[in-house]
A and B are shown apart, each in its own frame.
Chain A
Amino acid sequence: MSQIGSFALLLALALAAYSFLGGLFALWQKGPVSERVGETARRAGIATFAVIFLAALVLVTCAFLNDFSIAYIYHHSNRDLPAPYKFATLWSGQEGSLLFWSLLLSAYGFVLRLRYKTDPRLFAYASVVIAAVQIFFLLLLNFAAHPFALMQGSLPDDGTGLNPLLQYPEMVIHPPMLYLGYVGFTIPFAFALGALAMRYPGEKWIHITRRWTMVTWGFLTCGIFLGMHWAYSVLGWGGYWGWDPVENASLMPWLTGTAFLHSVMMQEKRGMLKTWNMWLIFSTFMLSIFGTMLTRSGLVSSVHAFAQSSIGDWFVAFLGIIFVVCLVLYLLNHKHLRSEHKLESLVSRESSFLFNNLLLLVACFTVLWGTLFPKISEWVQGTKVTVGAPFFNRVNIPVALLLLLLTAIGPLLAWRRTSLESLRRNFMFPLIGALIVGSILVAFGMKPWQDQSYFYSLMTIMLAVMVALTVISEFVRGGRVIGRHTGQNIFASMWQLARRNTRRYGGYIVHFGVVVIVIGFAGSAFNQDAEKEMSFGDKLTIGPYTLVCETYTEDDNANYGSQWAVMQVYKRGAKIATMTPERRFYKASQQTSTMVANRSTLAEDLYVVYEGQNQDTGRPIIKVYLNPLVMWIWIGVWIILAGTILAMIPNEQAQAVAARVAAPARLAQAEPVGAGD
Chain B
Amino acid sequence: MTALLFCAMLTIAALLYIFYLPGTLRLGPEKTRLSYLRERKDAVYENLRDLNFDYKAGKLPEADYQSMKSSLEEEAASILSEMERIQQNAALRATKIKTTRTIR
Q: How far is the CB of A12 from chain B (nearest CB, A)?
A: 9
- One of A285-293, A366-374, A592-600, A661-669 contacting the partner: A661-669
With known contacts A414-B54, A664-B48, A39–B25 Cβ distance under 8 A: yes
Decide yes or no whether A549 CB sits under 8 A from chain B.
no
Q: Name the residue of chain A whose CB is nearest to the CB of B68.
A: A416
Q: How far is the CB of B77 from chain A (nearest CB, A)?
A: 8
Secondary structure class of chain B's binding surface, majority of residues: helix
Decide yes or no whether A533 CB sits under 8 A from chain B.
no
Range, interface on chain B: 35 or more
Q: Name the residue of chain A whose CB is nearest to the CB of B23.
A: A39
Candidates A203, A421, A672; contact of B61 at CB < 8 Å: A421
Q: How far is the CB of B34 from chain A (nearest CB, A)?
A: 10
Decide yes or no whether B42 CB sits under 8 A from chain A.
yes
Range, interface on chain A: 35 or more
Assess the B11–A675 pair: CB atoms within 8 A.
no
List residues of chain A with CB within 8 A of the CB of B56: 481, 661, 677
- CA of A677 to CA of B52, assembled, Å: 8
With known contacts A11-B10, A43-B17, A271–B61 Cβ distance under 8 A: no
Q: How far is the CB of B48 from chain A (nearest CB, A)?
A: 5
Candidates B36, B61, B71, B73; contact of A422 at CB < 8 Å: B61
Assess the A661–B58 pair: CB atoms within 8 A.
no
With known contacts A43-B18, A47-B14, A670–B45 Cβ distance under 8 A: yes
- One of A1-9, A235-243, A446-454, A455-463 contacting the partner: A1-9
Assess the B28–A4 pair: CB atoms within 8 A.
no
Assess the A663–B25 pair: CB atoms within 8 A.
no
Decide yes or no whether A268 CB sits under 8 A from chain B.
yes
With known contacts A3-B3, A8-B10, A672-B49, A414–B27 Cβ distance under 8 A: no
- CA of A670 to CA of B49, assembled, Å: 10
Decide yes or no whether B82 CB sits under 8 A from chain A.
no
Contact with A along B43-72 (1 / 0, CB 8 A): 101111111111011111101100011010
Assess the A425–B14 pair: CB atoms within 8 A.
no
Q: How far is the CB of A351 from chain B (nearest CB, A)?
A: 15
List residues of chain B with CB within 8 A of the CB of A425: 58-59, 61
- CA of A675 to CA of B48, assembled, Å: 10
Assess the A202–B40 pair: CB atoms within 8 A.
yes
Q: Name the residue of chain A whose CB is nearest to the CB of B21.
A: A43
Candidates B10, B47, B58, B68; contact of A7 at CB < 8 Å: B10
Decide yes or no whether A120 CB sits under 8 A from chain B.
yes
Decide yes or no whether A204 CB sits under 8 A from chain B.
yes
List residues of chain A with CB within 8 A of the CB of B64: 414, 417-419, 421-422
Q: Can you list 20 A-B contacts (CB < 8 A)?
A: A3-B3, A4-B3, A11-B10, A27-B27, A35-B24, A39-B25, A43-B23, A47-B17, A120-B25, A121-B28, A201-B32, A201-B33, A202-B40, A271-B43, A415-B50, A421-B61, A425-B61, A661-B53, A663-B48, A670-B42
Report A's interface with B, CB cutoff 8 A: 1, 3-4, 7-8, 11, 15, 18, 26-27, 32, 35-36, 38-44, 46-47, 50-51, 54, 116, 120-121, 124, 200-204, 268-271, 340, 412, 414-419, 421-422, 425-426, 477-478, 480-481, 661, 663-664, 666-667, 670-677
